[in-house]
């Protein structure tokens, strides 16, 4: 599929990432379907998109007309039958089986050349593609949080992904006002592979009682990082960050440098998932 053939984009999952991706898709002029199995997530996602667009208008970065036009392009649904599109961008929880099930259902109801892009942070694109029909149209499209502001997008090719699909997604990323970086499939791709140690080491310091999380964050920020590791985990979602570490630990054959933290596991079990639940390492 070429860029000019794309008319409709469906975003699967309306959580932290899906809502931001829907916003950039609508702003780029695409009819955008925002889907979630949890109906309560849809008004929440729309409220966040509306607030982001209003803020952009207030800062003179967007006209009121463009704001209204973008909002009118977004259609929300929790019915799988509504999912008919040219490109699907999946942003559901970081679980291979759940992502596969969603893609398999989408593949059944759509043309064999529609593009199936995943925003996974760590699940190998190769592993997804191996279980889906027409694996040449499966590609990674990894946005960063917050998706409506962060410009980098990693475009990930599995061995089975067609060069044309990679090129179309690269062009689509640019049309969304982002900066694409293409890479071959590897656990965690580029950014998460490097950044994993930012979280893992900070958690290890906490586990060993070397310092509390506020002190570790203050030190990291004082030496130039924009956000301390614990503030960043709260922004990402402690649950999402934990799933990504587990997935990378698995993909790197249990290399100790990727070992997930028991402290993080306990936060997840307690439902302290960060900003989205009002409490993580900090309270909101």
Ligand X SMILES: NC(=O)c1ccc[n+]([C@@H]2O[C@H](COP(=O)([O-])OP(=O)(O)OC[C@H]3O[C@@H](n4cnc5c(N)ncnc54)[C@H](O)[C@@H]3O)[C@@H](O)[C@H]2O)c1
* 142 in catalytic set: yes
* 154 in catalytic set: yes
Single residue of 145, 164, 171, 184 touching ligand X by CB under 6 A: 145
Interaction of residue 236 with ligand X, rule CB under 6 A: yes
Task: Give min distance, CB of 48 to ligand X, in A.
Answer: 11
Task: Give min distance, CB of 229 to ligand X, in A.
Answer: 13
Interaction of residue 135 with ligand X, rule CB under 6 A: no
Task: Give min distance, CB of 30 to ligand X, in A.
Answer: 19
* 174 in catalytic set: no
Stretch that binds ligand X, among 16-24, 107-115, 165-173, 180-188 (CB under 6 A): 16-24
Considering only residues 67-126, where is the footprint of ligand X by CB under 6 A? 91-94, 98, 102, 119-121
> Judged by CB under 6 A, how many residues of this single chain contact ligand X?
29
* 273 in catalytic set: no
Terminal Cα distance for the chain, rounded: 44
Can you give the binding site for ligand X, defined by CB under 6 A?
A: 12-18, 35-38, 41, 91-94, 98, 102, 119-121, 142-145, 236-237, 240, 244
- State the catalytic residues: 121, 142, 154, 192
């Amino acid at each position: 599929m070429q860029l000019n053939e794309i008319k409709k984009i469906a975003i699967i999952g309306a959580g932290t990432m899906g809502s931001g991706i829907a916003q950039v898709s609508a702003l780029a002029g695409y009819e955008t379907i925002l889907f979630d199995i949890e109906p309560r997530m849809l008004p929440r996602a729309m409220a966040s998109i509306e607030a982001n667009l209003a803020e952009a208008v207030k800062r003179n970065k967007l006209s009121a007309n463009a704001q209204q036009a973008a909002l009118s392009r977004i259609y929300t649904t929790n019915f799988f039958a509504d999912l008919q599109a040219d490109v699907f961008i999946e942003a559901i929880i970081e679980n291979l089986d759940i992502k596969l099930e969603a893609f398999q259902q989408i593949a059944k109801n759509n043309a064999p050349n529609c593009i199936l892009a995943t925003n996974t942070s760590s699940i190998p694109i190769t592993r997804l593609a191996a279980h889906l029909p027409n694996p040449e149209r499966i590609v990674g499209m990894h946005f960063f949080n917050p998706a409506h502001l962060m410009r980098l997008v990693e475009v990930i090719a599995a061995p089975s992904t067609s060069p044309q699909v990679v090129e179309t997604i690269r062009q689509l990323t640019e049309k969304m006002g982002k900066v694409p970086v293409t890479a071959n499939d590897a656990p965690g791709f580029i950014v998460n592979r490097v950044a994993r140690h930012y979280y893992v080491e900070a958690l290890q310091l906490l586990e060993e009682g070397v310092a509390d999380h506020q002190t570790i964050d203050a030190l990291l920020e004082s030496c130039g990082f924009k956000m301390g590791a614990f503030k960043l985990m709260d922004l990402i979602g402690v649950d999402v960050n934990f799933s990504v570490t587990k997935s990378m630990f698995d993909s790197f054959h249990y290399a100790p440098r990727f070992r997930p933290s028991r402290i993080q596991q306990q936060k997840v079990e307690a439902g302290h998932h960060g900003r989205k639940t009002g409490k993580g390492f900090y309270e909101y």
